[in-house]
Amino acid sequence: MNQPTANKKSRSYDPVRAAAVEAIILIEQGDQVESAVHNVTSGRSFRPLDRRFLLQLVNGTTKMRRRLDHMIRFYLAKPSGELPIKLANILRLGFYQLHFTDRIPAAAAVSESVNLAHHMTGRARASLVNAVMRASLRDPHKVKYADKEENPIKFLGDFYSYPDYFVRYCCEEFGFEKSEKLLAAYNQPPMVTYRVNFLKAKPDEVANILQKNEIDFSYGKYLPEFIHIEQGGLPLGDELIKTGKVLVQDESAGLAVRVLNPRPGNNVLDLTAAPGGKATYIAIRMRNKGRLTAVDKSHSRLELLVENAQRLGIKIIAPVAADVFDFQSEPFDRVLLDPPCSGWGTAGKHSDLRWSKKFEDIEHLAKIQAAMLDRAARLVKPGGTLVYSTCTIIRDENDQVVEEFLIRNKKFGLESASKFFDNELVTERGYVKTYPYIEKLDGAFCARLVRRMDS
């Protein structure tokens, strides 16, 4: 990412970096990245280049918050003391530029951080920023981490920048080596994926357009209509996205739709459907023939679903504004339930998630997920299919919810997804599970549940 130029004659600090500090503070106080960035850029005339740089700084500094704090402490006179929030975040932003970007010269990172501190905190604290950052450049090896063998949780948490509860879960679930691969993968720049809309284009047609514009890409390994873009941003957005030839969606999100296996002419229900990623893919797999009822309690998100469907040329989606527990209907051939979850499968794309989600949230969510699954089951025809899908890698929200459902609901059986995907994605029990170190997919889970004909 090239660094935007600032007009030094008219201002003594970079307003893009100042906006980044403001956004990072809002996120630390509980705001989400998208909302924080919107709030700090509203009314400011930033160029597209400025906005990309701002997002890089905000997302990177937010992701690496714990690692940055760990590093900064080694260069403070009072490492155990708590810094004022503006000073702390100016230092975080400065250290992120010094140690986690490769196109910002060290001298620029230091001088811009000092300028920001002058503007936002005063001369004395600007001197502290200058001293701390220059000490970091002189003696980078002063930073030490816990021993991997003696304290693996602290080492992984400090080095890769995650809360202890998530690191501990990963180590217990996957072991140290796989956990380290997983945590490192979530820290890589997220990759954009385009899902080709069969109603308007073919994968090779989109591929040819990308090739002509010298945009590197690769086909999805499991779903070839998904095309991974090997660069930042949303290239050719006007030509591909606005025309409805593609929709931005991770390949992992499409796996649940393939496991649902909707057919032309089916009567399908998508619960919690907005903003429509899976719903529109279902409709496209149905070749725009049949009926898809898309239920969501958010009117504004349903409006996005309708906009997406119109742009893609889909005509079979019937949006319904309703809570899952209030929705009434005759049973369906296929039902997809993608309930609210902790989102830990998408930690690479949502930098604030690792700090906004708490361990207690998971237990609460699992109860909601179980109740929603019971409700969804009542809307499936005998012989019909119910797919439970999440974008988390936490077993309590995935395997455990499904296994407990099967104990409560004898009318349903678990059908392996092995007829759709190979063993790299399908567990012995028959669940689909993905992780970011497998083909760069987001973390996801889905289970195919079939209602018995005689029930």
Long-range contacts of 62-65 (CB under 8 A, 24+ apart): 62/24, 62/27, 62/33, 62/351, 62/352, 62/355, 63/161, 63/187, 63/351, 63/354, 64/96, 64/100, 64/161, 64/187, 65/28, 65/92, 65/161, 65/355
Cα 255 from Cα 241, distance rounded (Å) = 21
Q: Annotated catalytic, 391? A: yes
Q: Which two tokens stand for residue 4?
A: 């935007």
- Which backbone phi and psi does 293 adopt, to 5 degrees? -95, 120
Using a 10 angstrom Cβ sphere, with 0-12 exposed, 13-18 middle and 19 or more buried, the burial of residue 12 is exposed
Cα 219 from Cα 176, distance rounded (Å) = 31
Cα 306 from Cα 354, distance rounded (Å) = 31
What one-character DSSP code corresponds to residue 266?
-
Q: Which two tokens stand for residue 57?
A: 């700084």
- β-pair partners for 386: 335, 449
Cα 262 from Cα 272, distance rounded (Å) = 17
The catalytic position among 170, 341, 391, 446 is 391
* Residues listed for the chain: 455
Residues recognised as catalytic? 391
